[in-house]
A and B are shown apart, each in its own frame.
Chain A
Amino acid sequence: MRILNLTAGRLSRHRRGPIAGALLLLLGLVTAGGLYTAVMTPASAERTQDLASQVEEGRKLFLVGCSTCHGTNGEGITTDRGNNLGPSLVGVGAAAVDFQVGTGRMPMAQPGAQAPRKDVAYSEEETAALAAFVASLGPGPAIPDESDYSIEGLDSAAQEAAIVRGGQLFLTNCTACHNFEGSGGAMPRGGYAPKIRGVEPKYIYEALLTGPQTMPTFSNGNLTPDEKRDIIAYLGSLDDAAAIGGFTMGGLGPVAEGLFAWVVGIGALVGFAVWIAAHTTRSNKKKVEA
């Protein structure tokens, strides 16, 4: 095989007419320009118009469903006693809305220490409209794309490395509240850090970006997008892994296991002893004296 093939293009050069190049260029320009005017411009204008109507639709939904606590312009409401009825939503971005509304945390059923995940109140289009409206209040994190939190595009060695690094980052940054296997844990004043196993990767990414409720934020200047992706990959790998140590009992550690051993284990032993003693082996037959 030749390393440098200098005559490969000779045949086609002989075939080509003298003005073919110029014609081809002209054709290309006309096609590109035509396509641009035919497709791109109206679509782009449509999108702008779409966005405007989406924001307007979101504003209407917001006024009905959110403004009681967050104010009619998302500025937040402070009570007379200085408490925050609902925080300001200026600058929280579309990601925060997609997380809070998409997981059913907002609208809250009642004010309290915890905004639990529950049935979603808005359709996907309505959530998108609300997100567009809140994003229009001030610059904030946008809804992440699937490529941001998926390791599908990497080769297997890089995926393995991402999971290992994600594990180290998880143990350093997340386990303090969410438990060493993501089972969640108690927080002050009746709140709790929710279980984060089996949560959709998009919502984990958005929670890291926006810091829902009392959670600190892990902005891109804190954990890079790749580091966030690795943490999500590690959590996913936990779900795929078999429970090689036996039943996890909620993954809560020695409390759950000790309770099981004391109540079920020792309880079974006591029950067994009672059962043995309660059953006589005697019969009412008489011994026949030989």
Chain B
Amino acid sequence: MHAFAAIWAIGIATMKGGLRDRLIQSLLLAGFFFLFSTMVFSSFSMRQPMEVAINYSLATVQILAVLITLFLGLNLLSREIESRAGHGVLTQPLSRSAYVLGKFFGLMLLCCIVVAFLALCAVIGVLLVRAGTPNAPLILWENFGLSLMGILLISLLLGAASLLFCAVATSAILPFLATIAIWVIGNSTQTVKNYLDANIADQAMTPQLKAIITGAYYVFPNLSLLDFKVYAIYGLPLAAAQVGFALTYGLAYTIVLLTLATRLFQTRDML
């Protein structure tokens, strides 16, 4: 089988499997209700209901997109490898790298569908709030779209990390927990680095600890770079160079993780 055809076939099968997953369906339904609750949530704001509405809807999309990616990684990849359900596919004349890339392609399609669905709910929620807000500030939809793009990239990066851990782990829960750890660390490295740079913690931290934190800052993905929510919430100007750098960083990191996952899966003992 041609490699691209194999990747396509595995990707479509993974996507269909994901859409059939009851857990994913219930999370999407929860997202639907959350986003329509935007009106209630923003109504408690004293001065900035529009900003609160955008903040709430984008944060909901981000949290749900990440949760869905984590569960997709658990249900569609880890469990399949652990239960050896995927071994049948691997007996076909296709390379292991095509299998990994196919799985990622499927995950990518699912993430796109999930983010697009949640984004639609978010836009409707925000428009409903705008309709009920006199003198509503101008919404920068291009920043809103870029925030969604950032959320999609975060999901893809975590999906690739999940695949990498699946390639080496022997239990299904380990990649799930390791990906959660990457999510938490990825959101914290910039904060901790800023804290270090501000020299607030000079007295409390040993040089070794500082070196570890600085190392972690460069090794782990910096998910704060892909977070454009604040620009959408307050309609702040966003430099094209900053967007270009962040998107390239996210894509490059995802490709690195995917390459490592492919290499490690090739050397994995499947018996």
Q: Are A and B associated in one complex?
A: no
List the interface of chain B (C-beta within 8 A of A): none
Chain A residues with a Cβ under 8 A of chain B: none
